[in-house]
Structure 1
Amino acid sequence: MMVFGALFISASLFGLGFVEKIETRQQKLFSLFNVVQFRNDPCRSNMRGSGVGALQRNGTCLTVSECTDQGGSLAGGCAAGFGSCCVFFARSDLSTVRQSCAYLQNPEFPSPYRQMQPIRYTVAKLNQEICALRLDFDTFSILGLGGSQELTRDACRDRFTILSSSNPPIPTICGQNMGQHVYVDLGMDSSDLAQLNFEFSGTTNIRMWDIKVSQINCRSSRRPPNGCLQYHTGLSGQITTFNYNALNDNHLPNQRYNVCIRREFGFCCVQYKACGVVPGSTDPMSAFSISTKDANGNTALGNVDDSCTLDYIAIPGSNVRCDRSGRGGSNRFCGVFLNPIVDSMAFTEICTCVDPFRLEVFTDMAPDGADRSIPNTSQSKGVCLEWNQIQC
């Protein structure tokens, strides 16, 4: 009361102009206190993604005006309600993406793309601290090889290619690849870009894609080691080759890339087995069928190392035992049975304790068999492996 009184007396002594100055100053202070600043962090939107078991899409926390000015879609709140979760889509040819997270979709998604016009996207760095991208194929359906024979050369009818500074280059991908992912190295220069290209041949009503593109900071723990096209974390998971288990189709030709697994604390080895196969089973299954004919044209069973000269997977230092000394036996595996014993007719588990954990996929540009100009009539779907880490 004494303060208000003093203010009232002072106001009466100095006149109305003094009161107006006080009110103006109070309005300025009030407006300053109402400016809420928040970080443009990733957020979980209220917009559901595509694919089996899809969760809500990821967005960026922005103001409403920032989101709309950048062409984003408002999809829920963030920053305690002061911001909006903004989801970005690129659906047209020659679209350029500069956001920390965005979704590349075919025109008219979720309807199929029925035209033949190529679609090209450019991904530019959000800032100089970005060194890599992760592409998650939430939906990915384009034409594959188109038959049950392993054909010659790069036989993809539709083609998805990625051009960047990645070394080695990223192989051409086609067919059915929902749930797959790849990492793209962007290089260190702020002007480095990645170009993602779709090219088509023939008519179909299955072309559809929804690819999440996430930019990765150079110092982020999510950035994979050099040379890893795919990177898995956690204690267990599943690895499949591209276009695996597509109806009446084969594994892709001309593939050479590394699939890496981050070693978790307290774990020294990783163990692999063919998906859905009980160790000891003698029934060939499509979970492991790669290079199903040997160099002489004979049906391949469980082949390893020097017997795998055409298409194979390589697991450095692998053995049936989890030998923590680092010593291993076989490295290459092919045929229709996953087993380190040549011509084995049963599945087994394969273990390696060689760090870093890495699996190499290699397929050539020719069909398997004695005469490599003739398609291999024995289907090679590729491989599906379940893996889990073993404690020290």
Structure 2
Amino acid sequence: MSGRTHSTRILAIVALFFSSYIVGIYSAARASSQLLLHHERLRSLNNNNNDTTLDALDAVESGLARNGSRNPRWFPFYTIGRFSNDICQGNNLLLGRCEINGECTDNKGVAAGSCSTITSQAVCCIYQRTCGASTTNNNTYFYNSNYPAPYAGGGRCTIVVTPPDSTICQLRIDFLALSLAPPTGDGLCTTDALTISGGASAVPTICGENSGQHVYVDFNGVSPITISVATSAGYTFNRQWQFQIRMMACSSATLAPAGCLQYHMPTSGQISSFNYVSAASSALNSIGVQGTRQLASMRYGICIRKATGMCSITYSQVSSDTYSFTMTNDVGAVDPTLLATSAVQSQDCTTDYIVIPAPTQGGANMPSDRFCGLGLVATTTAAKPFVVYSVTDANEEMDISNRGFYLSYSQNACPVL
């Protein structure tokens, strides 16, 4: 082979490589530009409080954030094709991040199917962690050892979550599964306890049955947040937990407002106190009578995002559960047919109660914004933001066989003028 022919072939190979590289860079830039344009379009719609854009906007912002950074990451040296680290759903139905298989392995993720048509190297990488772990990855799952098998108890299981940079403001923790030992009859988490520390906003200690609940925690700058589950080996119970941990960008449309431990997006749904179960507690309290299920020393806000065209919101007991508002007094001392009626509703509340700002019932203004007792009549408020405050004190002795609250809510359209 002549030197000229050899040089010509080398030049051809180099030209092919760089043309592919340039095409890849163009594709990456175009995809990034389209993602950003889509983000701005969704944000414009959301500025008009269009509820249907929230999930899509959150997904795009998560895609832009990647590990928390709003700069998309590309992999020009792994593959000729280019793709971004978008949020994906794995073949195990968990959410992950689209990554090169090697990077997923290096970061101790689990490959759960393909996530790109550009290259077979791209996998939906699921981040799953258990006791003693730390993470800077968005959308991490944290679970008990050997999950979904139950955990017998003993010791403390923790994960430390650190934001990658200052563009991340909040952590949302969804309790996909959370079953810990119940509180004492006085509402204290002395056997098992979930604690969340290190954030700029307070989270109360939680125990008992809380699958389906969630909490938001503000980051304190870039300081880590520690999620800790402490359990007692001396109490026989099938414990289980699986949390989905999501980092929320400071610019996210789904960032929880200040003072909201929980933030609900749908226009209608249910809210409940922690450890709410319709069945009574089996534990006795400190005076030897049937104890409460509601947790002591709670003080937090449950917020509902106001949807477009909605001017008020109505709260009522879940109709299928007569115990769905039992916060103070003795459940067993009341005629069961009176539960969930105005006859056992009270606004003389100083210990355990909920607060509904500027409430009305049947069109009439109520004398107080506090509600307690053993029943709640349908209550409407036009006060903004839509929020219910939950308050319990440290003494549950006289709250006999109470469950807490489990309420339906529904936003009401503005009147046509």
Any conservation in 1 of the 2:153–2:237 contact (CA below 8 Å)? no
State how far apart, in whole Å, the 2-side matches of 1:355 and 1:329 are.
19
Which residue does the alignment assign to 2:94?
57
1:3 aligns with none
Instruction: Give TM-score scaled by structure 1 length.
Output: 0.80
Segments of structure 1 that go 5 or more residues without pairing to the other structure are: 1-10, 48-55, 278-283, 339-347, 370-375
Within 5 A, what are the aligned runs for 1:177-326?
A: 177-187=210-220, 189-190=221-222, 192-201=223-232, 202-245=234-277, 247-249=279-281, 250-276=293-319, 285-293=322-330, 302-305=344-347, 307-321=348-362
Q: TM-score, normalised by structure 2?
A: 0.75
Are residue 367 (structure 1) and residue 399 (structure 2) matched? no
Name 1:24's counterpart in structure 2.
Answer: 13
Residue 91, structure 1, aligned to residue 125, structure 2: no
Q: Give the aligned residue type for 1:384.
A: Y
Q: Per the alignment, in what secondary structure is the counterpart of residue 14 of structure 2?
A: helix
* C-alpha contact (below 8 Å) 2:330/2:401 kept by paired residues: no
- The number of residue pairs the alignment matches comes to 337
* 1:292 CA drift (Å): 2.2
For the pair shown, the structure with the greater C-alpha radius of gyration is: 1
In 2, distance between residues paired with 1:356 and 1:291? Answer: 27
Which residue of 2 is the match for residue 334 of structure 1?
372
The aligned counterpart of 2:91 is 46
Kindly state the Cα deviation for residue 134 of structure 1 after the two structures are TM-superposed: 0.6
Alignment partner of 1:164 is 2:202: no
Q: 1: CA distance between counterparts of 2:118 and 2:403?
A: 49
Give the deviation of 1:193 after TM superposition.
1.1
Decide whether aligned partners of structure 1 residues 17 and 166 sit closer, same or farther in structure 2, where only a CA change above 3 A counts.
closer
Q: CA deviation at 1:329?
A: 4.2
Distance 1:199 1:22, change over 3 A: closer
Deviations 1:335-365 (A, max 9, x none): 1111xxxxxxxxx311000000110000111
Structure 1 residue 289 displacement after superposition: 0.4
Identify which range, 119-128 or 64-73, moves more after superposition.
119-128
Q: Which amino acid aligns with 1:219?
A: S
Partner of 2:410: 388
CA contact 2:189–2:205 (8 Å) conserved in 1: no
Give the match for residue 281 of structure 1: none
SS of the aligned residue for 2:17 comes to: helix
Distance between the aligned counterparts of 1:175 and 1:81, measured in 2?
46
Query: Relative CO higher for 1 or 2, CA cutoff 8 Å, sep ≥ 6?
Result: 1
The one-letter code of the counterpart of 2:324 is: A
State the distance in 2 between where 1:380 and 1:263 align.
31
Structure 2 unaligned residues grouped into runs of 5+: 24-78, 282-292
Identify if the C-alpha distance between structure 1 residues 308 and 328 changes in structure 2 by more than 3 Å, giving closer, same or farther.
closer
Mapped partners of 2:263, 2:88: distance in 1: 23
Q: Secondary structure at the match of 1:80?
A: coil
Q: Note if contact 1:134-1:183 (Cα within 8 Å) is conserved in structure 2.
A: yes
C-alpha RMSD of matched pairs (Å): 2.5
Q: 1:142 to 1:226 in 2, by over 3 A?
A: same
The residue aligned with 1:107 is: 145
In structure 2, what is the Cα distance between the partners aligned to 1:100 and 1:262?
A: 23
Q: Tell me, what secondary structure is at the counterpart of 1:110?
A: coil
Q: CA–CA distance in 1 between the matches of 2:6 and 2:133?
A: 58
Give 1:176 shift.
0.5
Determine the C-alpha separation between the residues in 2 that align with 1:197 and 1:160. Answer: 6
Query: Contact conserved, 1:175 with 1:243, CA < 8 A, in 2?
Result: yes
Per-residue Cα deviation, 1:46-83 (whole angstroms, up to 9, x for no partner): 11xxxxxxxx2111111101111100011122233532
Of stretches 17-26 and 136-145 in structure 1, the one that deviates more from structure 2 is 17-26
How far apart are the structure 1 equivalents of 2:190 and 2:299?
16
SS for the counterpart of 1:237 is: strand
Given that 1:244 and 1:383 are in contact with CA atoms closer than 8 Å, whether structure 2 keeps it comes out as: yes
